[in-house]
Amino acid sequence: MPALQRLRLDHAPALLAFEQENRAYFAASIPDRGDDYFTHFDARHSDLLAEQAAGLHFFHVLVGSGGEVLGRVNLIDVADGSAELGYRIAEKAARRGLATTAVHQTCALAAAEYGLTSLRAVTTLDNAGSRAVLDRTGFLPTGEILLGGRPGITYVRDLSGPFGAPVA
Region 100-114 average pLDDT: 96
- Ramachandran quadrant class, 116 (left: phi over 0; alpha: psi -120 to 50; beta: rest): beta
What residue spans define the domains of the chain? Answer: 3-164
Among the residues of the chain, which ranges form H helices? Answer: 12-21, 23-27, 35-39, 41-53, 98-112, 128-136
For the segment 39-70, what is each residue's pLDDT rounded down to a tens digit? 899 999 999 999 999 999 999 999 999 999 99
What amino acid occupies position 77? Answer: D
Is 3-164 a CATH 3.30.70.260 domain? no
Region 24-31 average pLDDT: 80
